[in-house]
Amino acid sequence: MRFGIVNRMASLGRAKRPKLSSKDKSYFDSYCDISIHEEMLGDAERTNAYKNAIFQHKEAIQGKVVLDVGAGTGILSCFCGQAGAAKVYAVEASAMAEQAKKIVNSNNLQDCVQVIHGVMEEVILPEKVDVIVSEWMGYCLLYESMLLSVIYARDKWLKPGGILLPDSATLYLSPICDDEIMVDKVHFWNDMEDTYGVDMSSIIPFARESLSKEVMVKSLGAENILAHEQVVKNFDLYAITKANLSSVKYSFLFRCFGHADLQGFAVWFDVNFCTNKKFLADDEKKRDLNPCDSNTHVKKKSVLLSTSPYLPETHWKQAVLYLKKEMQVVQDSKIHGSIELSPSKDNPRFLSVNLSTKIDDYPEVSKHYSMGYDLEKSAIE
């Protein structure tokens, strides 16, 4: 009897009863807050990149089965339905799944898009899929560890030769000068005597050190960058494994552009949407067989979504690692060091960052940063 019930659940694409830890429950509960979705959908760079990528891969999606991992409001699933997918499974662990169903119905896509309220690792789909689409990127790329759910879905549900959107990511690092935050957050305390008649300048060292306690999410510009960025790691989503994400390490050597105060380092990322090699090969065969028929070949352009400080701002901004003290650099100053990013031991959805750096004749500086928030507290509030 239980076997029959399990089979029926599978045919409906429903999830097993989620076995959530309190941390996971709090994490998913946080995505019930509509302000998070407002922020994401209000990010035109992000949303248009996904829309463009989906419609540029229309040939790979038409008549195919798509899985949307972490569907949220369901907008990516709707894009896939509009692009001609035969079926879209929109998997969302939070209660936002109920709102996604309403959005799907409002767009008359209910015959194509099936919203499944469940955790990706617990969901049983009725079939394998041709395409996986997901907006899995967190601050500093790896925060929240949602990439692990995409890896699970890829290994469990993606057909051989299926495609991932996006299919690659690149993490960057660069030294920075950020005088603006020094004025706003540190030298602010110098103004207290003029403003209120109380000298509070003694707190400046404490205020400066407080900046370096955690990874800060902040918008920077080209003027803040002190040296050419370097690639910390390239991620091939077709090949990456859970073990690869247990620790991301990189040793760097920067040469500075000119005279400035080195105040920390910025981390940002790109993700790329391009058709996998098998699909490209099949497309090339069609062109070779029908060289005069332009309709048999549409040149695929890769779509890039970047959070670079040189480009328009996204809601991810940049992740900044401030040092305890600024250090002066000049043109061609050498900045040696290493960085390691790994899931926090306290909560794997949080991020732990270790940074060591040495600038010219300055002594080496080592610093540990955390990136996370009190999930349980935020869920209660």
**Alpha-carbon span 329 to 216, nearest angstrom:** 22
Mean of per-residue pLDDT scores for the chain: 84
**Alpha-carbon span 146 to 315, nearest angstrom:** 17
- Give me 179's structure tokens: 């005088």
Q: Are residues 46 and 151 in the same domain?
A: yes
Rounded to an integer, the average pLDDT of 93-101 is 93
Per the structure, the complete domain to which residue 182 belongs is given by 171-269+310-380
Q: Cα-flanking dihedrals φ and ψ of residue 290, to 5°?
A: -130, 65
Within a domain: 131: yes
Q: Are residues 145 and 210 in the same domain?
A: no
Q: What is the radius of gyration, based on Cα positions, of the chain?
A: 24
What's CA 273's distance to the chain center, in Å?
A: 14
Give the contacts of 271 (CB within 8 A, at least 6 positions apart): 137, 166, 168, 169, 170, 304, 305
Q: Are residues 177 and 92 in the same domain?
A: no
- Give me 40's structure tokens: 């994401």
Q: What is the structure's pLDDT at 381?
A: 31
**Alpha-carbon span 71 to 311, nearest angstrom:** 26
Catalytic residues: 135, 144
Question: Running DSSP on this structure, what letter comes out for residue 186?
Answer: I
Answer yes or no: are the C-beta atoms of 252 and 335 closer than 8 Å: yes
Neighbours of 270 (CB within 10 A): 20
Strand partners, 328: 261
Q: What is the structure's pLDDT at 24?
A: 52
**Alpha-carbon span 46 to 76, nearest angstrom:** 11
Neighbours of 360 (CB within 10 A): 14
Q: Are residues 11 and 56 in the same domain?
A: yes
Half-sphere exposure of 234 (CA within 13 A, CB side): 6
The answer, yes or no, to whether residue 261 has pLDDT greater than 90, is yes
Look at 142-151, 252-261, 298-307 and tell me which has the smallest mean pLDDT. Answer: 298-307
Q: Are residues 185 and 334 in the same domain?
A: yes
Question: Running DSSP on this structure, what letter comes out for residue 24?
Answer: H
What CATH number has the domain bearing residue 91? 3.40.50.150
The answer, yes or no, to whether residue 221 has pLDDT greater than 50, is yes
Rounded to an integer, the average pLDDT of 173-199 is 90
More confident residue, 353 or 300: 353
- The sign of the CA dihedral 309, 373, 38, 51 is positive
Confidence class for position 372, pLDDT limits 50, 70, 90 = confident
Q: Are residues 146 and 89 in the same domain?
A: yes
Question: Running DSSP on this structure, what letter comes out for residue 185?
Answer: I
Tens digits of residue pLDDT in 127-171: 999 999 999 999 999 998 899 999 999 999 999 999 999 999 999
**Which secondary structure element, helix H or strand E, spans residue 115, and what is its range?**
strand 113-117
Within a domain: 191: yes
Q: Are residues 84 and 121 in the same domain?
A: yes
Q: Are residues 265 and 285 in the same domain?
A: no
Length of the chain: 381
Task: Map tokens 């100053």 to a residue.
Answer: 333
Number of domains in the chain: 2
The answer, yes or no, to whether residue 299 has pLDDT greater than 50, is no
Q: Are residues 288 and 217 in the same domain?
A: no
Within a domain: 274: no
Q: Are residues 123 and 236 in the same domain?
A: no
What CATH number has the domain bearing residue 255? 2.70.160.11
Strand partners, 252: 337
Q: Are residues 91 and 187 in the same domain?
A: no
Q: Cα-flanking dihedrals φ and ψ of residue 182, to 5°?
A: -65, -40
Q: How far apart are the first and last CA of the chain?
A: 43
Tens digits of residue pLDDT in 98-138: 999 999 999 999 999 999 999 999 999 999 999 999 999 99
Q: Are residues 182 and 150 in the same domain?
A: no
Q: What is the structure's pLDDT at 376?
A: 38
